Amino acid sequence: MPHLVSPSLLAADFGNLRSEVEMLNRSSADWIHLDIMDGVFVPNISFGFPVLKYISRYSTKPLDVHLMISNPDKFLSMFRDAGASILTVHFEGAIHLHRTVTEIRRLGMKAGVAINPHTPVSSLTDILPFVDMVLIMTVNPGYGGQSFIETSYRRVAELKGLINDNGYDVLIQVDGGVDQHNAPRLIAAGVSVIVAGTTVFESDDPAGTIEQLKSVHQ
Ligand code: DX5
Ligand code: ZN
């Protein structure tokens, strides 16, 4: 399967949010990545339901919602109602992870689980049969514009091995410091969904950069 590109709106111009979403609609982006931060699970606060609903009203692409929040269980149906198609929770933030991902699927969304850079990939062994996607964080969550952590290639390859050995149907997503230079090696290691914020929105031609990320070959 060709890889997908999910631009992270965190790096967009929020003063022109509607035109940024319309640019993504016209681009070759597959999904739109939305980062929800609560100031507790991560040391930053981003945006919440009113903004998400507004984006959902104008977006023609599936909304890929990355929750960096404590107690995600309280809000799952609200994220569905706000337009999320893919809902990803953190391994480190969900105490009853199996219950959480099962509920996400019951609500009609794809379920993702994210892991921080220090969390062993092997921790996922028993949740893989129950999720649609694993998000390997390639920076510490909380901010856009950080440097890619080089150990991520090995972590992606290890996860790909676990998925293949067991015949699971699980996408691997990477998020943080991803650009045209590290994308080919990530895809070669087994990544199927690339998230990119700064690389896309700080370029002179965001739609052209998305197209470049789409046409990267391993
Ligand atoms: C970081 C977020 C990322 C962020 C990526 O906590 O999860 O989605 O927007 O931004 P870049 O691509 O700028 O590292
Ligand atoms: Zn993210």
Indicate yes or no: pTM above 0.85.
yes
Supply the pLDDT for residue 39.
98
Mean pLDDT in runs of 10 for the chain (218 residues)?
96 98 98 98 98 98 98 97 98 97 98 98 98 98 98 98 98 98 98 98 98 90
Sequence spans of domains, the chain: 4-214
Per-residue model confidence (pLDDT) at position 218:
65
Q: Which two tokens stand for residue 148?
A: 């890619």
Q: Kindly give the distance from the C-alpha atom of residue 12 to the centroid of ligand 1, in angstroms, as a whole number.
A: 11
What distance in Å separates the CA atoms of residue 206 and residue 174, rounded to the nearest whole number?
Answer: 19
Torsions phi, psi for 19 (to 5 deg): -70, -30
Q: Which ligand 1 atom sits closest to the C-alpha of 196?
A: 12
CATH fold of 4-214: TIM Barrel (3.20.20)
Q: Which residues are catalytic?
A: 35, 175
Q: How far apart are CA 36 and CA 125, in angstroms?
A: 26
State the amino acid at position 129 in one-letter form.
Answer: P
